[in-house]
Amino acid sequence: MSAQTGAGYQACIVGIGETDYTRRGGIEDRSELALACAAIATAAKDTGLNLNEIDGLSSYANDESVPWLIQESLGLPKLRYTTMAWGGGGGGCFAAIAQAAAAVESGAANYVAVFRSLCQGQRKRFGQGYGVPHSPGFLDPFGMYAPPFMLAPLAQKYKHDFSIQEEQVAEIALNGRANAARNPRAVFKDRPLDLDTYLSSRMVADPFRLYDCCQENDGACALIVTTAERARDLAGPTVRVLAAGQASEPGWGSGGLGSHNMPAEDYRAGGGTALASLVYGKAGIGPQDVDTAQIYDHFTYFVLMNLESFGFCGRGEAGAYVADGNIRWETGALPINTSGGHLSEAYIHGLNLAVEGVRQIRGTSTSQVPDAEICLLANSASAAILGKA
């Protein structure tokens, strides 16, 4: 049959794997390719799956661990599906899950490994200044060579229009650091952060202070995606992919990394409203059903924007929402970034947020939300919703 349907064919995540996470340049004894292979092998072991059964690979923009080298390194005998989500940098992370889900649900592959690997001490440093190839004439003359400078105007517009206070934004960073303290994998697990330290930190690109910006890290992680039917024969716990996809509003193009000409209302929202409608509609749920969320926190301000875009509060209300303690574990209405997120666990371009989402549904997080059944994985370029099997 060309299109498989029914509950047995719904995509599930059945395994997760990680290497150690370090600050940029901390891994010198293994290559980026070796890290990718190690994460995939660990995820397969977590699943109880023989590596020989993996027949698909999925990643996203800028990944340099190409599939044919992974196939040779792991000895995968029947690789028949490989894909990469274009654009958005790490913002495409959850789109890689969507493509893996589409592969197993359609029968294009049986077991797809979704992966991301970074070794910035040996390879490209993503936080360093660089020009965007397709729009140098629009950004380079203004010194917008690196992500903080490219994205600061969006955050400044949002802050100005909605009178967002720095003490409110600080809650995103403080929450991540508090959660990291319980997570032995977190790079900043032993580095507490308080409000005074946040407010006195240097300005990087107004309004981004030092602790508004994510880390630069080395490390890798991976997920194994298959169908619910095949998952019944595996050892590991099963997590359903209720929805996953990509969407954007008109005019966004490459977003703040390459364009600032989207409509004003969408611009100050940071994108994401069309995406939220897409994944909620596919999953058949709303924001009121979400128990925990792992939100792409490359910069703190965009977490506030996504809280609004995904319907947890009204437009311009996220500052007050987080200040009221709603995102805190374990008393908040919506605990977020429970591993520490990109700000305090590691920045593996979003995929470590997905690994944490799986842990929440499995019930094995170091900041476990009691009886968590629905986890949202969100940013303005791609999103996914995970649920109990």
Active site residues: 296, 347
SS (HEC) of 224-276: EEEEHHHHCCCCCCCEEEEEEEECCCCCCCCHHHCCCCCCHHHHHHCCCHHHH
> Is the C-alpha dihedral spanning 157, 160, 161, 165 positive or negative?
positive
Task: Provide the token pair at 291.
Answer: 């128990």
| Helical packing angle, 351-362 and 93-106, nearest 10° | 60
Q: Is 260:153 a contact under the CB 8 Å cutoff?
A: yes
Cα(36)–Cα(115) distance, rounded to whole angstroms? 7
Cα(77)–Cα(71) distance, rounded to whole angstroms? 8
Q: Are strands 217-227 and 11-18 parallel, antiparallel or unpaired?
A: antiparallel
Task: Provide the token pair at 344.
Answer: 């305090």
| Helical packing angle, 166-180 and 300-309, nearest 10° | 100
How big, in percent rounded to 5, are the helix, strand and coil portions of the chain?
A: 40, 20, 40
Cα(300)–Cα(277) distance, rounded to whole angstroms? 23
